[in-house]
Amino acid sequence: MAGGSTLPKRALGRELRRLRERSGTNQAAAARAIEVSPQTIGRLEDGHASRPTTLQINGLCDRYGASDEERRFVLDLLQDSRTAKQSGGGWWRAYADQIPADFNHYLGLEEVATRVTTWQETLLPGLMQIPEYRREMIWTESPQLAPDDVERRIAVSEQRLKNLRDSKFRLNALLSEAVLRHGVGGSAVMPRQLNHLLALGEAANVSIRVVPFRARSLVGLLVRSFVLLEFEVLPNVRLTEPPVVYVEGFTGSLYLERREEVTQYRAAADEIERVALDEQETRALIAKVAKEFKT
């Protein structure tokens, strides 16, 4: 994508829509506040506005009653959208203290996705984690966090589960056998976590398949963990939002949207799926490992 990443614009639009809807402001009233057309507000929220100014974004923040923290975050996204024009099509965003705890770029994408395909080598996807599993991972990553902060993070994770109850949303989870066998929380947590996976797999919009250790293809080892997010038509400009590949790192996250990159990851997912156990075989393996953790 010669023009650079569109993801910062899309993240900016989602956050502005969230703030507007929270404040009870319609698009017409928002447009009057900064002297533009309602159509311009719609394009801005869909990530298709050409050049929103700092003055306009500040005006919207005033109208929406944004906090200082939310305003800084929105202005950071505006700056990212400007500098992304020089990027090579991907967007790297380091985790920052100023990002509100109830919002980050991946969650914004996941919330509006209609299909998520994830390949995980070592840990379960967040959408599939029970609170006890998630708590163990938070303590490992941030042992200095206060208990109240840990519980707030878990509450945010729990909000994500609403997607799984939406019949228009589909989760295609491809897991290495190692994911089942890493003892996160030990025998106190893993049997419940694995039984939770079995329950999730019964939903019509959720597919869980495990790649066993004996699988001959090494593509999954080469490509490492990733998430492919796909979307439906944007409400205002009536265009399909391009798919995004998300690769999480220890100090930041990479978002890829160039067609060639997405195509490569889609092909990798197809190859990983080819060597995975079918859903019935996967259920049998999950149940077997759950019993092993109990003994």
Return the CATH number at 51.
Answer: 1.10.260.40
Contact 152, 103 (CB under 8 A): no
The residues facing 240 across adjacent strands are 233
Let me know if residue 82 belongs to a domain. Answer: yes
- For the CA atoms of the chain, what is the radius of gyration? 20
AA letter at 178: A
Instruction: Dig out the tokens for 75 from the structure.
Output: 């202005």
| Helix 190-200 and helix 131-141, axial crossing angle in degrees, nearest 10 | 120
The per-residue pLDDT for range 127-167, each reduced to its tens digit, is 999 999 999 998 998 899 899 988 888 887 777 888 888 88
Contact 173, 208 (CB under 8 A): yes
Pair 69, 114 in one domain:
no
Which residue range(s) make up the domain with 47? 7-87
Distance, CA of 27 to CA of 201 (rounded, Å)? 40
Distance, CA of 40 to CA of 257 (rounded, Å)? 24
The residues facing 252 across adjacent strands are 94
Residue 171 phi, psi (nearest 5): -115, 125
pTM, entire model: 0.74
Distance, CA of 96 to CA of 69 (rounded, Å)? 12
Contact 194, 201 (CB under 8 A): no
Pair 155, 244 in one domain:
yes
Extended strands (E) in the chain? 90-94, 113-120, 170-176, 206-211, 226-231, 244-248, 252-256
Highest-pLDDT range among 7-21, 155-169, 182-196, 233-247: 182-196
pLDDT of 194 > 70? The answer is yes
Please tell me which residue, 263 or 1, carries the higher pLDDT value: 263
Picking from 124, 112, 128, the residue whose alpha carbon sits closest to that of residue 199 is 128
- Containing H/E element for 155? helix 147-159
Residue at a domain's end among 55, 87, 119: 87
Let me know if residue 2 belongs to a domain. Answer: no
pLDDT of 26 > 50? The answer is yes
Pair 232, 283 in one domain:
yes
Pair 58, 111 in one domain:
no
